[in-house]
Amino acid sequence: MNIALVAHDKKKQDIIQFATAYKHIFSNHTLFATGTTGTKIADQTGLDISCFLSGPLGGDQQIGAKIAENQMDMVIFFRDPLTAQPHEPDISALLRLCDVHHIPLATNIAGAEILIKALERGDLHWREIVKENKKE
């Protein structure tokens, strides 16, 4: 599965710790991330991650494009709800695309824990069926 990892500045350490804890699961999937987040996770975990631009520079939009093209299966986005983000419209658009295209989305560690356990159990194989059906 293709998984996007995104985190606001104050949540980067949380997503690094999350990726470290679940490295054994993430290593079986194709990972994408916004620039700074992906670089930090890769440096600290050794996971292979394809990095887009930094979120404020268009990385959120690049992930959104992959969602719209049916090339992203899950988004884990550790948001900082207490800090205003200058690129909030891009963030809102990304979340909206997840809803429109039925992409599993977690915006905090509790939701991410549920998704990663579901991924490990195989509960998200329906995404493969969806992708195959959209190719036809």
Catalytic residues: 60
Compute the Cα dihedral for 117, 99, 63, 87 and give only its sign. negative
- DSSP state at residue 22: T
Measured between alpha carbons, how far is 45 from 39 in angstroms, rounded to an integer?
10
Q: What does the block give as tokens for 113?
A: 């824990």
Measured between alpha carbons, how far is 115 from 77 in angstroms, rounded to an integer?
12
Asked if 33 and 105 count as a contact pair (C-beta separation under 8 A), the reply is: no
Residue 110's Cβ-count burial label (10 Å; 0-12, 13-18, 19+) is exposed
Residues comprising the chain, all counted: 136
